[in-house]
Structures are given as C-alpha cells and as structure tokens.
Structure 1
Amino acid sequence: MVTTLITVAVIAWLGQLALGGWQIHRFNRAFDALCQRGRVGVGRSGGRFKPRVIVAIALDENNNVCDSLIMRGMTVFARPTKIQAINGMSWQELEPDVIFPNDSLCQDALSLALKLKHG
C-alpha cells in the first residue's frame, strides 16, 4: 500500500514537472514573439493561493499597443492569449479598471505592465 502511494506521488510529481515545463515553453515562445514587436512591459499579480495573472504589452515607437498577451490561472493548463481590446490604443489611454472592470488581479497586472520605461 505504501509503495503504491509513493509510486502515485512520484508519477504525479513527474507529470507536474513535464506539464509545467510545457507551459513555460509556450509562454516563452509567445513572449519572444512579443519582444520582437516593440518595447515590452510585464506585470504579474496573484498570490500563493490565488490565480496568477501575467500581462505583457508591447508598444511601438509611437507608444501605441502593437501586441499583448495575458496568461491567467492556477494550473499548468493556463495559456497565453492576446488582449484584442487594447491593440492600437495609446499608452495614455490604457486604464486597467476600464479594460478589466470586474477582475482586480488583471487590473493589478496591467498596472504593473504599464510602468515600463519610455524613451
């Protein structure tokens, strides 16, 4: 019985490692593509027992959003997706509480991403 429990725990741990690595690989590919588009700001929110949110925005030379991504969730199945609503918007027009009116974690992550250096 103990051997079975240890075996199941090891298999679950190895599965978590493999799926976590797959998630990091997908995020890194999406993030690399975003970095090719312009200056990038990244923000992360969430805690140990809350879903984490990562927001990254790319600004062109005119400080307009040319691309973005968001990844949220508590599991290894969270995937980076685009935030279509902000494409083409000026950096000054981005208001996290308007873009994500009912999601404080996304608001926090976007606020942090907007603090990227200009110049």
Structure 2
Amino acid sequence: MVSALVAVAVIAWLLQMALGGWQIHRFNRAFDKLCQQGRVGVGRSGGRFKPRVVVAIALDNNDNVADTLMMRGLTVFARPQKIAGLEGKPLKELQPDVIFPHDPLCQNALSLALKLKHG
C-alpha cells in the first residue's frame, strides 16, 4: 500500500514537472515574439494561493503599444494571451485601473510592467 502511494506521488510530481516545463516553453515562445516587436516591460503579481498574473507590453519607437502578453492562473494550463484593445495606444494613456477595473492582480502586474518602461 505504501509503495503504491509513493508511486502515485512520484508520477504526479513528474507529470507536474513536465506540464510546468510545457507551460514555460509556451510562454517563452510568446515572449520571444513579443520581444521582436520592440522594447518590453514585464510585471508580475499574485501569490502562493492567488492566481498569478504576468503582463508584458512591447512598445515601438514612438512609445505606442506594439503588442501585449498576459498569462494568469493557478495551474500549469494557463496560456499566454493578448490584452484586447491596447495595440497602438500611447504609453501615456495606459491606466491599469481603467484597463482592468475589477481585477487588482492584473492592475498590479500592468503597473509593474509600465514602471519598467519608465526606468
């Protein structure tokens, strides 16, 4: 009985590592494409038991949004996606509380991504 429980735990651990690696690979591919669009700012928020949010924004030479990337979730099945409606907007017009009015985690991640572009 104990050996069966150990075997299940080892299999679950290996599966979690494999799926985590797959998630990182997908994010890295999306992030590489984003980096080709221009200068990139990245922000992350969330905690151990809250959904983590990663936001990345690429800016062109005129400080307009060239492309975006957001990934959020608790599991390894979270996928990178675009933030709708930001492409082409000037950096100065981006307000995290307006873009994500009901999501403080996304607001925080976007704020951090924007601060990286000012520094």
* Structure 1 counterpart SS, 2:115: coil
DSSP 3-state at the match of 1:84 = coil
Per the alignment, residue 14 of structure 1 pairs with 14
Paired residues, number: 119
Alpha-carbon distance between aligned partners in 1 of 2:108 and 2:118, rounded to the nearest angstrom: 20
CA displacement 1:66-114 (0-9 Å, x = unmatched): 1000000000000000112111110000000000000000000000000
CA distance in 2, matches of 1:22, 1:29: 11
Structure 1 match to 2:96: 96
Corresponding position of 1:50 = 50
Indicate the SS of the match to 1:14.
helix
Q: TM-score, normalised by structure 2?
A: 0.97
Identical-pair percentage: 76
TM-score normalised to structure 1 length: 0.97
Q: Which amino acid in the other structure matches residue 94 of structure 1? A: L
Structure-2 separation of matches of 1:2 and 1:14: 18
1:24-71 CA deviation, whole Å, 9 max, x = no partner? Answer: 000000000000000000000001111100000000000000100000
1:74 is matched with 74
Partner-residue secondary structure (3-state), 1:113? helix
Unaligned residue ranges in structure 2 (runs of 5+): none
* Structure 1 segments of 4+ aligned residues over 3 angstroms from their partners: none
State the shift of 1:116 in Å: 2.3
Residue of structure 1 equivalent to 2:30: 30
User: RMSD between aligned alpha carbons?
Assistant: 1.1
Give 1:40's aligned residue: 40
